[in-house]
Amino acid sequence: MQAVQRFGLWAGGAGALALAIGAAIAPDRAAANLLLASWALAGAGLAGAFFVALSYAADATWVIAFRRVPESMTRALPVAAIGLALVFLLRPSLYPWTHEPVGAPGSFTRLWLSLPFFLTRAIVYFATWMLFAAALVRNSRRQDRDGDLAWTRRNRRLSAAFLVVFALTCFLASVDWIMSLTPHWYSTMFGVHNFAGLFQSGLAIMILLVVWLRESGPLRHVVTDEHLHDLGKLLFAFATFWMYIWFSQYMLIWYANLTEETVYFLPRMRGGWLPLAMVNIALNWVVPFLAIMNRPFKRQAAVLAKVAVAVLVGRWLDLYLMILPSVAPDAPPFGAWEAGGALLAAGAFVAAWVWMFRQAAPVPAQDPYLPESLHYHS
């Protein structure tokens, strides 16, 4: 496991180095790729916190056997905060509204899209997420000592509050950090689209980690095909949800055909971007939909892991299609900066995750509901 962490650090370091060089040569593209990597990391951390909160709030005990996996995913949040801080402080001009103010003077839009308020909001979002995530994880780890049911009750209350806060802040953060790259365009589906991608890819990460931990030891005989089956069901469901939301956003804009709305999709459906948009749909929806529709395939670690990899590549592409056309509208760029950003996100995530996972027992052995999870039938 330490070897994997070292590998993650090296990969993340190489990616960071590539982006640092990129910052000198092609600053906008480097900043856009750092934004992509950081938002992907924030998404992974949020997906972990959301999954834990959802399971507490719904009394979903099947999760407990591998709960340390999503718990440790929340360590991606501070890493993402660093990356986003670098983008916002070193390259705010990535956002067109920093040099061409949007909205009439004194209007709400002008106030909302002003750098000081923008930065304050970012701090508030991250502080909220990290406080909730830290509290959930701390209560779960304290239960390892005494097995007191009070920790579960406390986390259930905390989770209910977090779910409400998360719905609001996740929506606003995606509007702030991604949608405002095209400040004259807005879509009320945008936050939902980002949530769908975030949770779908979070499930794919969980599947990969759970399969790996089952093969390599810590979760052997703990995680069964039943747990994989349910993770597979969720991945299948949220792949379809992602497609549903993606299409809902696209179809309304296509049908209304209004200039201020189509401005987002036109550059993303032209030239080299169109095939990428098709691949995006194929990876995020067609592959998972066809590959794990049938029950036996949701229970096979090898099939699930391959689908999860496809979904993660799709996640990168989905974010790429949201962010990069604002920087390079003519043709989709792919080079050292894009590869560096992807490497940074993957490496930093793995290193942060392993670091946090090793701090606590791999299975919350004192959780009073653990036996229910171990004998779970999906």
Partner 1 sequence: MSRHVFLGIFEDEADIVAAAGESRARGFDIVDAFTPYAVHGLDRAMGLAPSWLPWACAALGAAGLAFATWFQFWTTARSWPINVGGRPWNSLPAFVPVMFELMVLSAGVGVVLTFLIARRLGPWRTPDIVDPRVTHDRFVLVLDAGASDPRVVRRLFADHRAVAFEERDMEGRP
- Judged by the rule CB under 8 A, the positions of this chain that interact with partner 1 are 247, 250-251, 254-255, 257, 293-295, 377
At its nearest, how many Å lie between partner 1 and the CB of residue 377? 4
Evaluated on CA atoms 125, 128, 132, 137, the torsion sign reads: positive
Q: Alpha helix (H) ranges present in 178-326?
A: 190-216, 225-256, 259-268, 273-281, 287-291, 295-298, 301-323
Complex with partner 1: residue 259 or 294, whichever CB lies closer: 294
At its nearest, how many Å lie between partner 1 and the CB of residue 200? 19
Q: CA 196 to CA 188: how far, in whole Å?
A: 14
| Residue 185 neighbours by CB distance under 10 Å | 16
At its nearest, how many Å lie between partner 1 and the CB of residue 230? 13
Phi-psi category of residue 373: left, alpha or beta, with phi > 0 → left and psi -120 to 50 → alpha: alpha
Question: Cβ neighbours of residue 278 under 8 Å, at least 6 residues apart?
Answer: none
At its nearest, how many Å lie between partner 1 and the CB of residue 286? 15
At its nearest, how many Å lie between partner 1 and the CB of residue 255? 6
Amino acid code (one letter) for 251: M
Percent of the chain that is helix, strand, coil (3-state, to 5): 80, 0, 20
At its nearest, how many Å lie between partner 1 and the CB of residue 273? 18
Complex with partner 1: residue 145 or 377, whichever CB lies closer: 377
**Under 8 Å between Cβ of 8 and 41:** no
Question: Cβ neighbours of residue 148 under 8 Å, at least 6 residues apart?
Answer: none
Amino acid code (one letter) for 306: K
Complex with partner 1: residue 123 or 251, whichever CB lies closer: 251
At its nearest, how many Å lie between partner 1 and the CB of residue 254? 5
Of 333, 316, 335, 336, nearest to 325 by C-alpha is: 333
Give me the phi and psi of 176, to 5 degrees please: -65, -50
